[in-house]
Amino acid sequence: MSTLEEWTAAICADLGLEAGLSDTKIVLDLARDAAHGVARPAAPLTTYLVGVAVGRGLPLPDAAARISALANAWPPEHQEVAESQELPTES
């Protein structure tokens, strides 16, 4: 078992979720598309928001495909702006 598989299994056990190791590739591909097509900070936020949508009943493959397509179609001029902006910090 790889470190990633062990980590995923540990998270699932701690959160009381079924270990969906087959979903790992879908989520990693989605994060890659968001990071490369939009901006690096978009990757964790995108996967979180897709997770919320899945929790509300949207199937993961459908949600990931829709949002990957959106990220891959993101206009380059928006990508440059997104990467140059700093993330807001709490005061």
Please tell me the predicted confidence (pLDDT) of residue 77: 76
* pLDDT score for 76: 84
Helix, strand, coil % over all residues of the chain, rounded to 5: 75, 0, 25
**Amino acid, res. 80:** E
**In the block, residue with structure tokens 């939009």:** 38
Tell me what pLDDT residue 65 has.
96
Could you tell me the residue ranges of all domains in the chain? 22-84
The pLDDT score that the predictor gives to residue 82 is 46
Q: What is the pLDDT along the chain (91 residues), one digit of tens a residue?
A: 899 989 888 988 998 888 665 688 899 999 999 999 999 999 999 999 999 999 999 999 999 999 999 999 999 876 655 455 555 566 5
Check: CB of residue 38 under 8 Å from CB of residue 82. Answer: yes
Those residues whose C-beta lies under 8 Å from the C-beta of residue 8, and which sit 6 or more positions away, are 19, 21, 24
